[in-house]
Copies of this chain bind each other. A is one copy, B any other.
């Protein structure tokens, strides 16, 4: 579907391809606004569940913690992975049962662990002895899984280095957990956010596959393998369809980890990114000199007001403008703040219509994940990204 509007105003001439985009193209907004279509979230949940089969879906709340998304996912039977006390409180407030919430951040405040334990949360992640000690003290007897480091990611936004421990330390930590009176139940890993093709999981899974058997040989009665996230969103480059992708990943996991009693997965971006569109506007177009090869296009949203994942030009969004179909040229795309780090795409300039001008409304596709929560409270006096749900 491509809807064109007869209204002559610039924003109404935006070529849109869905109910979500039609709303974002025409509704009045006083500032950059993320519009979320809850039915798209639901459809994506159903598609992922169809592929994930017996694996429990723990939605990675950090991708988008809008209460309406959590509420809808609770209704659909989703479980949740929380990164902090704030996210746990959110899930519980929207009706999630505590036994369906995992506390998956490996870096937890002691008092937040105690809060989670008292709220009935019983499953925690760890990748270090000090973390296990905090959990043992503040959530005695809890189930813990050990996060493994992944050093061979093909993801667009890799999660290597900061999280996880190597194989021999992971086995030591299982022992340490037992000594501390915790219940070590298994392992987790993360292939990296936005891993576009299921086949990209292969080297990671191959590398990790022996550890389950090694842990069992060491006497640990493991129950759970948490395969993390990595489920991709469409940003213009081809990705596998969600059901096919999820099914292929689970098949590869089952092959390399035969007989694992429980599987869990933590889609975040793959659940909500495509359900969101940001409406913003062009603030200014300019050249720096008469000899300048590139235009600059400044938007009303930038790296500090929602588009943090453009850092290093890692995530490359699709833009919809009222002049699409007209002549285009390369431009450097930047945000509205007085910070020169607030540039979205420069090394690989964007091709955008030459007719773009101040005041034009622009839609940014695939922005349902990792946008609203990265937005700063008021950098340069600009209010944070607004969010509307349809």
Contacts and interface: CB of A to CB of B under 8 A. Distances in A.
Nearest to A286: B128
Nearest to A149: B288
Contacts of A165: 286-289
Nearest to A314: B341
A242 interface: no
Given A134-B358, A284-B131, A378 B373 contact: yes
A164 interface: yes
Interface stretch (A103-111, A179-187, A199-207): A103-111
B86 A383 contact: yes
Interface string A292-327: 000010101000100010010000000000000000
A44 to B, nearest CB: 21
A381 B169 contact: no
B311 A86 contact: no
A377 interface: yes
Interface stretch (A3-11, A13-21, A155-163, A250-258): A155-163
Nearest to A153: B340
A155 to B, nearest CB: 10
A380 interface: yes
A16 to B, nearest CB: 23
Contacts of A86: 378, 380-383
A261 B296 CA distance: 33
A340 B158 contact: yes
A373 to B, nearest CB: 5
Interface residues of A, number: 80
Given A129-B286, A130-B358, A340 B163 contact: yes
Nearest to A285: B130
A338 interface: yes
A128 B290 CA distance: 11
Given A288-B165, A337-B83, A357-B130, A378 B110 contact: no
Interface string A364-390: 000000001111111111111000000
A55 to B, nearest CB: 20
A176 B88 CA distance: 57
B373 A283 contact: no
Contacts of A287: 128, 165, 169
Contact of A290 (B61, B169, B337, B338): B169
A347 B164 CA distance: 19
- A159, A165, A284, A383 — which one has the most chain B CB atoms within 10 A of its CB? A284
B381 A82 contact: yes
Contacts of A377: 372-373, 375-377, 384
Contact of A380 (B105, B131, B158): B105
A294 B207 CA distance: 23
A107 B283 contact: yes
A142 to B, nearest CB: 17
A343 interface: yes
Given A158-B340, A162-B296, A381-B84, A169 B108 contact: no
Contacts of A337: 62, 83, 105
A336 interface: yes
Contact of A338 (B62, B376, B381): B62
Interface of A: 60-62, 65, 82-88, 90, 104-110, 127-131, 134, 149, 157-166, 168-169, 172, 281, 283-290, 296, 298, 300, 304, 308, 311, 334, 336-343, 346, 357-359, 372-384
10 contacts: A62-B380, A65-B378, A83-B337, A84-B336, A86-B382, A160-B340, A165-B287, A169-B288, A169-B290, A373-B378
Q: Which 3 residue pairs of A and B lie closest in terms of their CB atoms, listed nearest first?
A: A86-B381, A128-B286, A87-B381
